[in-house]
Amino acid sequence: MLSRKDNDMLTQVGPGTPMGELFRRFWLPALLEEELPEPDGAPVRLRLLGEDLVAFRDTSGRVGLVDAYCAHRRAGLYYGRNEENGLRCVYHGWKFDVEGRCVDMPSEPHETNYKDRVRITSYPTAIRGGVVWAYMGPEGTQGPLPEFEWSELPVAQRTATKRLQRCNWAQAVEGGIDSSHISFLHSRKEGTDSGPRNPYHQSDRHPVFEVSESEAGLVIAARRNAEPGHYYWRVTQFLLPFYTMIPPVGAFKESSREPYDGHAWVPIDDHTTWTWSFSASPARPYSDEERETRGGRKGFWGPVDEAYLPLLSADNDYGIDREKQRNDNFTGITGIPNQDAAVQESMGAVVDRSKENLGHSDRGIVNFRRLMLRLAKALAAGEVPEAARRGDLYRVRSASVVLPADVPVETGAAGLLKAAPAPADR
Protein backbone atom coordinates (compact mmCIF):
# COMPACT_ATOMS: atom_id res chain seq x y z
CA MET A 1 0.00 0.00 0.00
CA LEU A 2 0.97 3.64 -0.37
CA SER A 3 0.06 6.64 1.70
CA ARG A 4 -2.34 9.00 -0.02
CA LYS A 5 0.44 11.58 -0.18
CA ASP A 6 2.75 9.18 -2.02
CA ASN A 7 -0.10 8.01 -4.22
CA ASP A 8 -0.70 11.61 -5.28
CA MET A 9 2.99 12.02 -6.06
CA LEU A 10 3.03 8.82 -8.11
CA THR A 11 -0.06 9.62 -10.16
CA GLN A 12 -0.10 13.40 -10.70
CA VAL A 13 1.71 14.43 -13.89
CA GLY A 14 0.81 18.05 -14.60
CA PRO A 15 3.30 20.92 -14.86
CA GLY A 16 5.12 21.52 -11.59
CA THR A 17 4.30 18.14 -10.03
CA PRO A 18 7.29 15.97 -9.03
CA MET A 19 6.30 13.06 -11.27
CA GLY A 20 5.31 15.36 -14.11
CA GLU A 21 8.70 17.04 -13.99
CA LEU A 22 10.40 13.63 -14.01
CA PHE A 23 8.49 12.60 -17.14
CA ARG A 24 9.45 15.88 -18.80
CA ARG A 25 13.14 14.89 -18.67
CA PHE A 26 12.52 12.02 -21.09
CA TRP A 27 11.58 11.93 -24.76
CA LEU A 28 7.93 10.85 -24.97
CA PRO A 29 5.97 9.15 -27.77
CA ALA A 30 3.53 11.88 -28.80
CA LEU A 31 1.93 10.77 -32.07
CA LEU A 32 2.16 8.10 -34.70
CA GLU A 33 3.86 9.54 -37.76
CA GLU A 34 0.81 8.47 -39.78
CA GLU A 35 -1.23 11.08 -37.90
CA LEU A 36 0.76 13.84 -39.66
CA PRO A 37 1.11 12.28 -43.10
CA GLU A 38 1.97 15.31 -45.23
CA PRO A 39 3.30 18.88 -45.11
CA ASP A 40 0.67 21.60 -44.65
CA GLY A 41 -1.89 18.96 -43.63
CA ALA A 42 -4.51 19.30 -40.93
CA PRO A 43 -3.21 19.98 -37.39
CA VAL A 44 -3.78 17.36 -34.70
CA ARG A 45 -5.03 18.00 -31.19
CA LEU A 46 -3.29 16.21 -28.37
CA ARG A 47 -2.93 16.39 -24.63
CA LEU A 48 0.24 15.25 -22.87
CA LEU A 49 1.08 15.47 -19.17
CA GLY A 50 -1.95 17.67 -18.59
CA GLU A 51 -1.03 20.19 -21.31
CA ASP A 52 -3.25 20.96 -24.31
CA LEU A 53 -1.16 21.01 -27.47
CA VAL A 54 -1.45 21.08 -31.26
CA ALA A 55 0.89 19.26 -33.64
CA PHE A 56 1.41 20.14 -37.30
CA ARG A 57 3.82 19.33 -40.12
CA ASP A 58 4.92 22.51 -41.84
CA THR A 59 5.68 23.15 -45.51
CA SER A 60 9.27 21.97 -45.05
CA GLY A 61 8.16 18.74 -43.36
CA ARG A 62 9.20 19.76 -39.86
CA VAL A 63 6.86 18.76 -37.04
CA GLY A 64 5.78 21.45 -34.61
CA LEU A 65 4.31 20.75 -31.18
CA VAL A 66 2.93 23.95 -29.71
CA ASP A 67 0.48 25.38 -27.21
CA ALA A 68 -3.07 24.68 -28.34
CA TYR A 69 -4.06 28.34 -27.95
CA CYS A 70 -3.07 31.51 -29.79
CA ALA A 71 -1.01 34.03 -27.82
CA HIS A 72 -3.39 36.83 -28.84
CA ARG A 73 -6.74 36.02 -27.21
CA ARG A 74 -6.38 32.26 -26.68
CA ALA A 75 -8.38 31.05 -29.66
CA GLY A 76 -7.83 27.39 -30.53
CA LEU A 77 -5.04 26.83 -33.05
CA TYR A 78 -6.51 23.47 -34.04
CA TYR A 79 -8.79 25.47 -36.36
CA GLY A 80 -5.80 27.28 -37.84
CA ARG A 81 -4.48 27.30 -41.40
CA ASN A 82 -1.31 25.26 -41.80
CA GLU A 83 0.43 27.13 -44.61
CA GLU A 84 3.78 28.54 -45.70
CA ASN A 85 5.82 27.13 -42.79
CA GLY A 86 3.50 28.15 -40.01
CA LEU A 87 0.15 27.67 -38.31
CA ARG A 88 -2.09 30.71 -38.70
CA CYS A 89 -4.87 31.45 -36.20
CA VAL A 90 -8.14 31.99 -38.05
CA TYR A 91 -9.35 34.61 -35.54
CA HIS A 92 -6.98 37.49 -36.37
CA GLY A 93 -4.38 35.85 -38.60
CA TRP A 94 -1.47 35.60 -36.17
CA LYS A 95 0.92 32.95 -37.41
CA PHE A 96 3.40 30.76 -35.49
CA ASP A 97 6.25 28.56 -36.70
CA VAL A 98 7.29 25.16 -35.32
CA GLU A 99 9.45 26.86 -32.69
CA GLY A 100 6.52 28.89 -31.37
CA ARG A 101 7.67 32.23 -32.76
CA CYS A 102 5.08 34.64 -34.09
CA VAL A 103 6.16 35.18 -37.69
CA ASP A 104 3.20 37.21 -38.93
CA MET A 105 0.75 39.58 -37.22
CA PRO A 106 -1.41 41.07 -39.99
CA SER A 107 -3.89 42.66 -37.59
CA GLU A 108 -1.16 44.97 -36.20
CA PRO A 109 0.54 47.99 -37.88
CA HIS A 110 3.25 46.93 -40.32
CA GLU A 111 5.86 49.22 -38.76
CA THR A 112 5.65 47.61 -35.32
CA ASN A 113 8.03 44.86 -34.19
CA TYR A 114 5.47 43.53 -31.73
CA LYS A 115 5.44 40.08 -33.35
CA ASP A 116 9.12 39.63 -32.54
CA ARG A 117 8.27 39.75 -28.83
CA VAL A 118 5.41 37.24 -28.96
CA ARG A 119 5.67 33.47 -28.91
CA ILE A 120 3.80 30.40 -27.71
CA THR A 121 5.11 27.35 -25.91
CA SER A 122 6.75 24.87 -28.25
CA TYR A 123 8.54 21.59 -27.66
CA PRO A 124 11.31 19.87 -29.63
CA THR A 125 10.24 16.89 -31.73
CA ALA A 126 11.97 14.04 -33.53
CA ILE A 127 10.81 11.16 -35.71
CA ARG A 128 12.05 7.62 -35.27
CA GLY A 129 10.43 4.25 -35.79
CA GLY A 130 7.22 5.71 -37.20
CA VAL A 131 6.70 7.72 -34.02
CA VAL A 132 6.78 11.47 -33.41
CA TRP A 133 8.70 11.98 -30.16
CA ALA A 134 8.46 15.09 -27.97
CA TYR A 135 10.67 16.56 -25.28
CA MET A 136 8.74 18.68 -22.79
CA GLY A 137 11.52 19.45 -20.31
CA PRO A 138 13.45 22.66 -19.70
CA GLU A 139 15.01 24.17 -22.81
CA GLY A 140 18.43 22.77 -23.62
CA THR A 141 18.25 19.80 -21.24
CA GLN A 142 17.18 17.03 -23.60
CA GLY A 143 19.33 13.96 -23.98
CA PRO A 144 19.34 11.54 -26.93
CA LEU A 145 16.32 9.54 -28.03
CA PRO A 146 15.99 6.11 -26.40
CA GLU A 147 17.64 3.50 -28.63
CA PHE A 148 14.87 0.93 -28.63
CA GLU A 149 15.67 -1.92 -30.99
CA TRP A 150 12.20 -1.81 -32.56
CA SER A 151 12.61 1.87 -33.46
CA GLU A 152 15.72 1.19 -35.55
CA LEU A 153 14.56 -1.89 -37.43
CA PRO A 154 13.37 -1.67 -41.05
CA VAL A 155 9.67 -0.92 -41.45
CA ALA A 156 8.99 -4.54 -42.42
CA GLN A 157 10.29 -5.72 -39.04
CA ARG A 158 8.46 -3.39 -36.65
CA THR A 159 5.01 -2.07 -35.82
CA ALA A 160 3.62 0.66 -33.57
CA THR A 161 0.07 1.48 -32.58
CA LYS A 162 -1.84 3.01 -29.68
CA ARG A 163 -5.19 3.05 -27.90
CA LEU A 164 -6.83 5.21 -25.26
CA GLN A 165 -7.00 3.88 -21.71
CA ARG A 166 -9.29 5.58 -19.21
CA CYS A 167 -7.18 5.35 -16.08
CA ASN A 168 -4.00 6.75 -14.60
CA TRP A 169 -0.70 5.74 -16.14
CA ALA A 170 0.64 4.01 -13.02
CA GLN A 171 -2.06 1.37 -12.65
CA ALA A 172 -1.67 0.56 -16.34
CA VAL A 173 2.11 0.13 -15.95
CA GLU A 174 1.57 -2.03 -12.89
CA GLY A 175 -0.51 -4.39 -15.00
CA GLY A 176 2.33 -4.58 -17.50
CA ILE A 177 4.94 -5.63 -14.94
CA ASP A 178 2.69 -8.08 -13.09
CA SER A 179 3.52 -11.55 -14.43
CA SER A 180 1.33 -13.38 -11.92
CA HIS A 181 -1.99 -12.23 -13.40
CA ILE A 182 -1.28 -14.02 -16.67
CA SER A 183 -2.21 -17.35 -15.08
CA PHE A 184 -5.68 -16.00 -14.33
CA LEU A 185 -6.82 -12.93 -16.27
CA HIS A 186 -5.55 -14.16 -19.64
CA SER A 187 -6.11 -17.89 -19.15
CA ARG A 188 -8.37 -20.14 -21.19
CA LYS A 189 -10.15 -23.35 -20.39
CA GLU A 190 -8.04 -26.40 -21.14
CA GLY A 191 -9.04 -28.06 -24.38
CA THR A 192 -10.38 -24.98 -26.16
CA ASP A 193 -9.05 -24.27 -29.64
CA SER A 194 -7.32 -21.14 -28.41
CA GLY A 195 -5.95 -22.59 -25.20
CA PRO A 196 -2.83 -21.27 -23.50
CA ARG A 197 0.29 -21.23 -25.66
CA ASN A 198 2.48 -21.33 -22.57
CA PRO A 199 1.83 -24.40 -20.39
CA TYR A 200 3.93 -23.11 -17.49
CA HIS A 201 1.54 -20.24 -16.81
CA GLN A 202 -1.18 -22.77 -16.03
CA SER A 203 0.83 -25.51 -14.34
CA ASP A 204 2.40 -23.11 -11.82
CA ARG A 205 0.16 -20.22 -10.83
CA HIS A 206 2.26 -18.83 -7.98
CA PRO A 207 5.55 -17.63 -9.49
CA VAL A 208 8.53 -16.66 -7.39
CA PHE A 209 9.84 -13.18 -8.20
CA GLU A 210 13.35 -11.81 -8.38
CA VAL A 211 13.59 -8.06 -8.96
CA SER A 212 16.78 -6.13 -9.64
CA GLU A 213 17.39 -2.50 -10.48
CA SER A 214 19.14 -1.55 -13.71
CA GLU A 215 20.45 1.78 -14.96
CA ALA A 216 17.30 2.13 -17.07
CA GLY A 217 14.71 0.77 -14.64
CA LEU A 218 13.93 -2.71 -13.31
CA VAL A 219 14.45 -6.31 -14.41
CA ILE A 220 11.56 -8.40 -13.09
CA ALA A 221 12.02 -12.17 -13.33
CA ALA A 222 9.12 -14.52 -12.58
CA ARG A 223 10.13 -18.14 -11.92
CA ARG A 224 7.78 -21.07 -12.48
CA ASN A 225 8.37 -24.80 -12.22
CA ALA A 226 9.04 -26.51 -15.55
CA GLU A 227 10.25 -30.01 -16.35
CA PRO A 228 12.00 -31.87 -13.50
CA GLY A 229 15.17 -30.04 -12.51
CA HIS A 230 14.27 -26.92 -14.53
CA TYR A 231 12.58 -23.55 -14.09
CA TYR A 232 10.73 -21.46 -16.61
CA TRP A 233 11.71 -17.80 -16.33
CA ARG A 234 9.66 -14.92 -17.69
CA VAL A 235 11.83 -11.80 -17.59
CA THR A 236 10.09 -8.44 -18.04
CA GLN A 237 11.90 -5.13 -18.45
CA PHE A 238 10.52 -1.95 -16.93
CA LEU A 239 12.28 1.00 -18.54
CA LEU A 240 12.01 4.58 -17.39
CA PRO A 241 9.75 6.32 -17.24
CA PHE A 242 6.80 4.14 -18.39
CA TYR A 243 7.91 1.38 -20.77
CA THR A 244 7.60 -2.38 -20.44
CA MET A 245 8.89 -5.14 -22.68
CA ILE A 246 6.90 -8.36 -22.97
CA PRO A 247 8.76 -11.68 -23.27
CA PRO A 248 8.16 -13.83 -26.35
CA VAL A 249 5.54 -16.51 -25.87
CA GLY A 250 7.02 -19.47 -27.72
CA ALA A 251 10.39 -21.13 -28.41
CA PHE A 252 11.44 -20.79 -24.78
CA LYS A 253 15.05 -21.83 -25.40
CA GLU A 254 15.48 -19.55 -28.43
CA SER A 255 13.41 -16.55 -27.45
CA SER A 256 16.03 -14.07 -28.64
CA ARG A 257 14.94 -14.89 -32.20
CA GLU A 258 11.22 -14.65 -31.59
CA PRO A 259 9.26 -11.44 -32.24
CA TYR A 260 8.58 -9.56 -29.04
CA ASP A 261 6.32 -6.73 -27.94
CA GLY A 262 6.45 -3.77 -25.63
CA HIS A 263 4.31 -0.99 -24.28
CA ALA A 264 4.52 2.64 -23.30
CA TRP A 265 1.92 4.14 -21.02
CA VAL A 266 2.07 7.83 -21.83
CA PRO A 267 0.03 10.04 -19.48
CA ILE A 268 -2.51 12.27 -21.15
CA ASP A 269 -3.35 13.67 -17.74
CA ASP A 270 -3.96 12.25 -14.27
CA HIS A 271 -6.99 10.26 -15.41
CA THR A 272 -6.29 9.04 -18.94
CA THR A 273 -3.39 7.38 -20.74
CA TRP A 274 -2.23 6.54 -24.25
CA THR A 275 -1.34 2.85 -24.25
CA TRP A 276 1.26 2.40 -26.97
CA SER A 277 2.15 -1.05 -28.32
CA PHE A 278 5.37 -1.72 -30.18
CA SER A 279 6.63 -4.93 -31.72
CA ALA A 280 9.96 -6.03 -33.11
CA SER A 281 11.01 -8.97 -35.25
CA PRO A 282 14.82 -8.76 -35.19
CA ALA A 283 15.42 -11.95 -37.20
CA ARG A 284 12.99 -11.59 -40.12
CA PRO A 285 10.29 -9.40 -41.70
CA TYR A 286 6.74 -9.79 -40.49
CA SER A 287 4.26 -11.44 -42.80
CA ASP A 288 1.31 -9.31 -43.90
CA GLU A 289 -0.90 -11.24 -41.49
CA GLU A 290 1.50 -10.72 -38.59
CA ARG A 291 1.76 -7.02 -39.37
CA GLU A 292 -2.01 -6.62 -39.36
CA THR A 293 -2.30 -8.65 -36.16
CA ARG A 294 0.33 -6.64 -34.30
CA GLY A 295 -0.04 -3.20 -35.82
CA GLY A 296 -3.46 -2.87 -37.42
CA ARG A 297 -6.46 -1.11 -35.91
CA LYS A 298 -8.35 -4.42 -35.84
CA GLY A 299 -5.40 -6.51 -34.70
CA PHE A 300 -4.28 -7.92 -31.40
CA TRP A 301 -3.90 -4.53 -29.68
CA GLY A 302 -7.24 -3.30 -31.07
CA PRO A 303 -9.87 -2.97 -32.15
CA VAL A 304 -9.80 0.82 -32.22
CA ASP A 305 -11.57 3.45 -34.30
CA GLU A 306 -10.03 6.18 -36.45
CA ALA A 307 -9.23 8.23 -33.34
CA TYR A 308 -7.55 5.22 -31.65
CA LEU A 309 -10.42 4.87 -29.19
CA PRO A 310 -11.14 1.25 -28.19
CA LEU A 311 -14.35 -0.23 -29.52
CA LEU A 312 -14.67 -2.35 -26.39
CA SER A 313 -14.84 -0.23 -23.24
CA ALA A 314 -16.73 0.28 -20.00
CA ASP A 315 -19.58 1.71 -22.09
CA ASN A 316 -20.32 -1.79 -23.41
CA ASP A 317 -18.74 -3.79 -20.55
CA TYR A 318 -15.82 -4.69 -22.84
CA GLY A 319 -18.10 -7.09 -24.70
CA ILE A 320 -18.20 -9.57 -21.83
CA ASP A 321 -19.90 -12.86 -22.72
CA ARG A 322 -20.91 -14.89 -19.65
CA GLU A 323 -21.31 -18.07 -21.69
CA LYS A 324 -17.77 -17.64 -22.96
CA GLN A 325 -16.63 -17.02 -19.39
CA ARG A 326 -18.08 -20.37 -18.33
CA ASN A 327 -16.80 -22.41 -21.25
CA ASP A 328 -13.84 -20.68 -22.90
CA ASN A 329 -11.78 -18.06 -21.11
CA PHE A 330 -11.46 -16.81 -17.55
CA THR A 331 -13.06 -13.40 -18.14
CA GLY A 332 -15.53 -13.83 -20.97
CA ILE A 333 -13.80 -10.84 -22.60
CA THR A 334 -12.06 -11.23 -25.96
CA GLY A 335 -8.50 -9.98 -26.34
CA ILE A 336 -5.69 -9.48 -23.84
CA PRO A 337 -5.69 -5.64 -24.12
CA ASN A 338 -9.42 -5.55 -23.42
CA GLN A 339 -9.03 -7.89 -20.46
CA ASP A 340 -6.27 -5.66 -19.07
CA ALA A 341 -8.27 -2.48 -19.63
CA ALA A 342 -11.36 -3.94 -17.98
CA VAL A 343 -9.66 -4.67 -14.67
CA GLN A 344 -7.39 -1.61 -14.67
CA GLU A 345 -10.18 0.83 -15.51
CA SER A 346 -12.52 -0.91 -13.04
CA MET A 347 -10.29 0.38 -10.22
CA GLY A 348 -11.34 3.94 -11.02
CA ALA A 349 -9.36 6.59 -12.83
CA VAL A 350 -6.85 6.77 -9.95
CA VAL A 351 -6.87 3.79 -7.60
CA ASP A 352 -6.61 4.48 -3.86
CA ARG A 353 -3.48 2.49 -3.05
CA SER A 354 -3.85 3.16 0.69
CA LYS A 355 -6.57 0.47 0.70
CA GLU A 356 -4.50 -2.29 -0.93
CA ASN A 357 -3.21 -5.53 0.58
CA LEU A 358 -0.09 -6.58 -1.31
CA GLY A 359 1.57 -10.00 -1.37
CA HIS A 360 4.76 -11.69 -2.56
CA SER A 361 3.62 -11.65 -6.18
CA ASP A 362 3.55 -7.84 -6.02
CA ARG A 363 7.31 -7.45 -5.53
CA GLY A 364 7.77 -5.91 -8.95
CA ILE A 365 5.00 -3.41 -8.30
CA VAL A 366 6.44 -2.43 -4.92
CA ASN A 367 9.88 -1.90 -6.45
CA PHE A 368 8.39 0.12 -9.30
CA ARG A 369 6.63 2.49 -6.91
CA ARG A 370 9.70 2.94 -4.74
CA LEU A 371 11.88 3.62 -7.78
CA MET A 372 9.55 6.21 -9.31
CA LEU A 373 9.00 8.07 -6.04
CA ARG A 374 12.73 8.07 -5.30
CA LEU A 375 13.62 9.42 -8.74
CA ALA A 376 10.93 12.12 -8.60
CA LYS A 377 12.25 13.31 -5.24
CA ALA A 378 15.84 13.16 -6.47
CA LEU A 379 15.00 15.29 -9.51
CA ALA A 380 13.38 17.87 -7.24
CA ALA A 381 16.75 18.01 -5.48
CA GLY A 382 18.57 18.50 -8.79
CA GLU A 383 19.56 14.92 -9.71
CA VAL A 384 18.62 13.91 -13.28
CA PRO A 385 18.24 10.15 -13.91
CA GLU A 386 21.08 8.59 -15.89
CA ALA A 387 18.57 6.99 -18.26
CA ALA A 388 17.39 10.44 -19.37
CA ARG A 389 20.91 11.16 -20.64
CA ARG A 390 21.80 7.81 -22.22
CA GLY A 391 19.80 6.38 -25.07
CA ASP A 392 22.00 3.28 -25.21
CA LEU A 393 20.54 1.98 -21.94
CA TYR A 394 17.38 1.08 -23.86
CA ARG A 395 19.13 -1.48 -26.08
CA VAL A 396 17.66 -4.41 -24.16
CA ARG A 397 15.09 -7.16 -24.70
CA SER A 398 12.75 -9.20 -22.58
CA ALA A 399 13.09 -12.98 -22.45
CA SER A 400 11.33 -16.24 -21.70
CA VAL A 401 13.56 -19.24 -21.16
CA VAL A 402 13.74 -22.66 -19.48
CA LEU A 403 16.93 -23.09 -17.45
CA PRO A 404 18.38 -25.82 -15.25
CA ALA A 405 17.37 -25.17 -11.66
CA ASP A 406 20.97 -24.52 -10.61
CA VAL A 407 21.55 -21.80 -13.24
CA PRO A 408 20.80 -18.26 -11.98
CA VAL A 409 18.53 -16.31 -14.29
CA GLU A 410 20.95 -13.38 -14.45
CA THR A 411 23.50 -15.81 -15.95
CA GLY A 412 21.28 -18.04 -18.05
CA ALA A 413 19.23 -15.25 -19.62
CA ALA A 414 21.99 -12.65 -19.95
CA GLY A 415 22.49 -13.11 -23.68
CA LEU A 416 18.77 -13.07 -24.39
CA LEU A 417 18.33 -9.69 -22.70
CA LYS A 418 20.73 -7.84 -24.99
CA ALA A 419 19.46 -6.13 -28.13
CA ALA A 420 21.43 -6.00 -31.35
CA PRO A 421 24.07 -3.26 -31.64
CA ALA A 422 23.00 0.11 -32.99
CA PRO A 423 23.02 0.34 -36.81
CA ALA A 424 26.24 1.82 -38.14
CA ASP A 425 24.36 4.35 -40.28
CA ARG A 426 22.04 5.62 -37.54
Q: Is residue 274, in this structure, part of any structural domain at all?
A: yes
Does 250 share its domain with 175? yes
Does 237 share its domain with 264? yes
Does 245 share its domain with 304? yes
By DSSP bridging, strand 27-32 and strand 131-135 are: antiparallel
Phi, psi of 406 (to 5 degrees): -95, 5
Query: What's the pLDDT at 424?
Result: 62
- The CATH number that applies at residue 165 is 3.90.380.10
Mean local confidence (pLDDT), 48-62:
98
Does 289 share its domain with 396? yes
- The CATH number that applies at residue 68 is 2.102.10.10
Burial class (CB in 10 A: 0-12, 13-18, 19+), 341: buried
Residue where a domain stops, chosen among 103, 135, 167: 135
Q: Is residue 58, in this structure, part of any structural domain at all?
A: yes
Residue 193 banded pLDDT, cuts 50, 70, 90: very low
Does 172 share its domain with 239? yes
Does 156 share its domain with 263? yes
Q: Is the pLDDT of residue 192 over 50?
A: no
Query: What's the pLDDT at 189?
Result: 75
Query: What digits encode the pLDDT tens for the residues 214-244?
Result: 999 999 998 888 899 999 888 999 999 999 9
pTM tops 0.75, yes or no: yes
Mean local confidence (pLDDT), 322-336:
90
Looking at the chain, the whole-number percentage of residues with pLDDT higher than 90 is 67
Q: Is the pLDDT of residue 266 over 70?
A: yes
Residue where a domain stops, chosen among 108, 135, 162: 135
Does 57 share its domain with 108? yes
Total domains in the chain come to 2
Residue where a domain stops, chosen among 84, 110, 135: 135
CA angle 327, 330, 334 (to 5 degrees): 90
Query: What's the pLDDT at 198?
Result: 67
Q: Is residue 424, in this structure, part of any structural domain at all?
A: no
Query: What's the pLDDT at 21?
Result: 99
- Between 141 and 205, where is the model more confident? 141
Query: What's the pLDDT at 205?
Result: 75
Residue 316 banded pLDDT, cuts 50, 70, 90: very high
Burial class (CB in 10 A: 0-12, 13-18, 19+), 244: buried
Mean local confidence (pLDDT), 304-333:
92
Partnered with residue 284 across adjacent β-strands are none
- State the Cα–Cα distance between residues 229 and 349, nearest whole angstrom: 44
User: Range of 401's domain?
Assistant: 149-417
Q: Is residue 329, in this structure, part of any structural domain at all?
A: yes
Q: Is residue 140, in this structure, part of any structural domain at all?
A: no
Mean pLDDT of the chain: 91
Does 245 share its domain with 391? yes
Mean local confidence (pLDDT), 168-175:
96
Q: Is residue 423, in this structure, part of any structural domain at all?
A: no
Q: Is residue 304, in this structure, part of any structural domain at all?
A: yes
Q: Is the pLDDT of residue 196 over 50?
A: no
Query: What digits encode the pLDDT tens for the residues 74-133?
Result: 999 999 999 999 999 999 999 999 999 999 999 999 888 999 999 999 999 999 999 999
Q: Is the pLDDT of residue 414 over 60?
A: yes
The radius of gyration of the chain's CA atoms, rounded to the nearest angstrom, is 23
Query: What's the pLDDT at 187?
Result: 80
Query: What's the pLDDT at 421?
Result: 76
Query: What digits encode the pLDDT tens for the residues 267-312?
Result: 999 999 999 999 999 889 999 888 888 877 776 677 899 999 999 9
Does 37 share its domain with 107? yes
Does 69 share its domain with 205? no
Mean local confidence (pLDDT), 389-407:
92
- State the Cα–Cα distance between residues 92 and 75, nearest whole angstrom: 9
Does 349 share its domain with 265? yes
- State the Cα–Cα distance between residues 334 and 116, nearest whole angstrom: 55
Mean local confidence (pLDDT), 70-75:
97
Does 47 share its domain with 175? no
Choose the weakest-confidence range: 82-86, 410-414, 421-425. Answer: 421-425
- Between 386 and 303, where is the model more confident? 386
- Between 47 and 412, where is the model more confident? 47
Q: Is the pLDDT of residue 145 over 70?
A: yes
Q: Is residue 328, in this structure, part of any structural domain at all?
A: yes
Dihedral angle sign, alpha carbons of residues 115, 118, 120, 125: positive
- In single-letter form, the type of residue at position 283 comes to A
